[in-house]
C-alpha cells in the first residue's frame, strides 16, 4: 500500500512526492480524509500559517480521518514543518488556534532577534538526532530549515532531535507511530532522502 501525502491546500507537495519516489516509495497525494483508509503510512507536509492549516485539514475531512488512522489504527505519520506544528495543542501565529493536540506543547514565535539572530531561521543547520528517522544518518548532519515559529514542548520525552539557533530547538519528535520534523528532508539532499527512506521503510 502507498504512502499518502496529504494535500490540504498548504503549499507545494510535489517536492515531497518527488523525494519519496526517489527513495523508492509508492506515493499517492490525497485530497480528502476518506482517501486515507487505504494508506499504509501518512505524510503531513505543508508550509504556511497555523490557522489556515487547521482550517484546511477540517474542510477536507482530514482532522477526523487523521485521528482515526493515526491515533486509533496507529499508522505511521510523518509531519513536516507546518505538519509538525499542527500536531501541537495550540498555535500562536496570527492569533491563537487549536491544533490537533496530540503533542504536549504549543507553537510559538522564534524569539531570537534579541540575541542578534535573524528570523526566519533559514538555511542549513546541524541536527543532533536519534531514533527511527535518524537511523544510519551521521551525527551533526545538516538539514534545511525555513521557519519563524517553533514547537515548545512540555515533555522532553517526545524530542528525538535538536538544533541550535540562539537556543536549543526541538526539531524532530517521535513517540510510537507519530513522527515529525521541523526542517525539510525533501530539500536536504542525501541526509534528507535517507531520513525519508527510514520513514518509508515503516510503510513496507
Chain residues binding another protein by CB under 8 A are 11-12, 14-15, 18-19, 22, 47-49, 113, 117-126, 137-138, 141-142, 144-148, 164-165, 184, 186-193
Please, what is the minimum distance in Å from the beta carbon of residue 180 to another protein? 17
Please, what is the minimum distance in Å from the beta carbon of residue 72 to another protein? 32
Residue 146: phi and psi, rounded to 5, are -155, 90
The residues facing 27 across adjacent strands are: 3
Pick 56 or 70: Cβ nearer another protein: 56
**Strand, helix or coil at 156?**
helix
Residue 120: phi and psi, rounded to 5, are -65, 160
Pick 1 or 122: Cβ nearer another protein: 122
Pick 21 or 71: Cβ nearer another protein: 21
Interatomic CA distance for residues 68 and 71, integer angstroms:
6
All three cell numbers of 117 = 539572530
Please, what is the minimum distance in Å from the beta carbon of residue 187 to another protein? 5
Whats the size of the chain, residue-wise?
204
Query: 144: number of CA atoms within 13 Å, CB side?
Result: 10
Catalytic residue numbers read 81, 184, 186
Amino acid at each position: 500500500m502507498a504512502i499518502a501525502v496529504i494535500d490540504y491546500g498548504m503549499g507545494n507537495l510535489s517536492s515531497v512526492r518527488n523525494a519519496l519516489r526517489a527513495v523508492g516509495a509508492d506515493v499517492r497525494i490525497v485530497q480528502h480524509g476518506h482517501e486515507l483508509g487505504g494508506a499504509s503510512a501518512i505524510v503531513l507536509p505543508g508550509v504556511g500559517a497555523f490557522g489556515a492549516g487547521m482550517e484546511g485539514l477540517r474542510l477536507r475531512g482530514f482532522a477526523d480521518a487523521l485521528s482515526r488512522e493515526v491515533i486509533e489504527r496507529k499508522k505511521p505519520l510523518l509531519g513536516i514543518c507546518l505538519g509538525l506544528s499542527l500536531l501541537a495543542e495550540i498555535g500562536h501565529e496570527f492569533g491563537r488556534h487549536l491544533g490537533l493536540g496530540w503533542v504536549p506543547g504549543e507553537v510559538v514565535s522564534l524569539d531570537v532577534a534579541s540575541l542578534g539572530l535573524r528570523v526566519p531561521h533559514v538555511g542549513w543547520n546541524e541536527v543532533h538526532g536519534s531514533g527511527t528517522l535518524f537511523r544510519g544518518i551521521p551525527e551533526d548532519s545538516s538539514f534545511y530549515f525555513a521557519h519563524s515559529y517553533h514547537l515548545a514542548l512540555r515533555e522532553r520525552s517526545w524530542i528525538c532531535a535538536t538544533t541550535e539557533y540562539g537556543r536549543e530547538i526541538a526539531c524532530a519528535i517521535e513517540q510510537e507511530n507519530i513522527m515529525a520534523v521541523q526542517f525539510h528532508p525533501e530539500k536536504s539532499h542525501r541526509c534528507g532522502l535517507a531520513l525519508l527512506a527510514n520513514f518509508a521503510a515503516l510503510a513496507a
